Amino acid sequence: MFQRVNIGNHFDLKTSVFQAPRRGIYSFSFHVVKVYNRQTIQVNLMQNDYPVISAFAGDQDVTREAASNGVLLMVEREDRVYLKLERGTLMGGWKYSTFSGFLVFPL
């Protein structure tokens, strides 16, 4: 999973979980790339233990395809936000995939 910017260290690199430092509206987006794999994948963006939005990549061709989505979320302090591969497998791991989030404004 591509991760370069981590201001405040609220994204845990080991678990890939973002934990909100404060209450507010956050923008999250992700692009999860499926490589050489005929399976359909479903990726959920999770807030605590609940799925908020889903994205799918189901092309049967042998190629790279992304499951992408994005959302504005009302997040409470210490909420955890992370991606979950709900269906399918990522044969090539999370290479080329990105997950981004930032605070749009505090509440």
Q: Collapsing DSSP states into helix, strand and coil, what is residue 74?
A: strand
| 37 lines the binding site for a second copy (CB under 8 A) | no
Q: Based on CB atoms, which residue is closest to a second copy, 21 or 58?
A: 58
Work out which of 64, 79, 80, 84 binds a second copy, going by CB under 8 A.
64
- Residue 3 makes CB contacts below 8 A (sequence gap 6+) with 11, 13, 16, 99
Give the shortest CB-78-to-a second copy separation in angstroms. 19
| 69 lines the binding site for a second copy (CB under 8 A) | yes
Q: 76, 25 in Cβ contact below 8 A?
A: no
Which H helix or E strand runs over 67? strand 64-75
Q: 53, 45 in Cβ contact below 8 A?
A: yes
Work out which of 21, 85, 86, 98 binds a second copy, going by CB under 8 A.
98
Which residue ranges make up the site for a second copy (CB under 8 A)?
2, 4-5, 7, 25, 27, 29, 31, 33, 40, 52-56, 58-61, 63-74, 96, 98, 100-102, 104-105
